[in-house]
Amino acid sequence: MLHVMYRIANAPVRAFPFPHIYVEDVFPADFYATLRRNLPPNDGYVRLIDTGLVTKGYSQNRLTLFPKDDHIARLPESLRQFWRDTLNGFLDKEFGRVTLGKFLPTITQRFAKPGDNRPMPILSSSEVALVRDLASYALGPHSDAPSKLVSLLFYLPEDDSRPHLGTALYVPKDRRFTCPGGPHHHFDKFDHVVTMPYRSNTLFAFPKTAASFHGVPPLPETASDRDLLQFNLLGSAGPATEAPPGGQPRA
């Protein structure tokens, strides 16, 4: 994890349309090759909509694998230990602190009270999942759930031949519009700014704000699967002292 933390901590933050980073060679090359070799078959995943973590109308075409015993048990025996160790490695407190620190000014500003210049303590926990998006998956522009502090999307393609399958960044046509988080909006209400290239061994990460609009345009029926690893830092403003990042995922 030290290599990953180094790459994240030293990546330049891009300010527009909301703070974010895009990191190349985020994993050591040999580990990335091992990770690719160990990607599970489709029946080793659970549909996200069946986990109870999303609303009823969510896409059927997102598969997930959380580091839970019942999820790991779905994998072929030869893959179980690798994914148990790999996924749980992201729940390390040190990794959570690096993730929080990368975007701390934005996160602190989000929870600041008007007229109060004191830094607000942040209470945080983390969750991680291996994800596979099937053809026709789509996700309208949204600013992420209020429970999120930071989202990290590690792209895991075999090669760099499908950059258009990355995450799209948007601004609302009504530039004054913001959203506290929750609903997915219609594409026609937003202007597309840029798509983070879906390239091998890369990371797209950003803090949740009321204007962090991103999504996935509908993937064509002919598109191949989209593999990624997703890490979320969850939290809120705390009343007293900061709790250390890390712990168990919600799912």
- In this predicted model, what pLDDT tens digit does every residue of 62-78 receive, in sequence order? 899 999 999 999 999 99
pLDDT of residue 237: 73
In residues, how long is the chain?
Answer: 251
CATH architecture of 2-237: Sandwich (2.60)
pLDDT of residue 123: 72
Residue 35 CB neighbours (<10 A)? 19
What stretch of H or E contains 3? helix 2-9
Two structure tokens written together for 197 = 């290239």
* Cα 5 off chain centre by: 16
- 199's CB contacts (< 8 A; 6+ apart) are 24, 155, 157, 160, 163, 166
pLDDT of residue 245: 40
pLDDT of residue 249: 34
Q: Residues in the chain with pLDDT < 50?
A: 240-251
Phi, psi for 7 (deg, rounded to 5): -65, -40
**Distance between CA 152 and CA 150 in Å, rounded?**
7
pLDDT of residue 186: 94
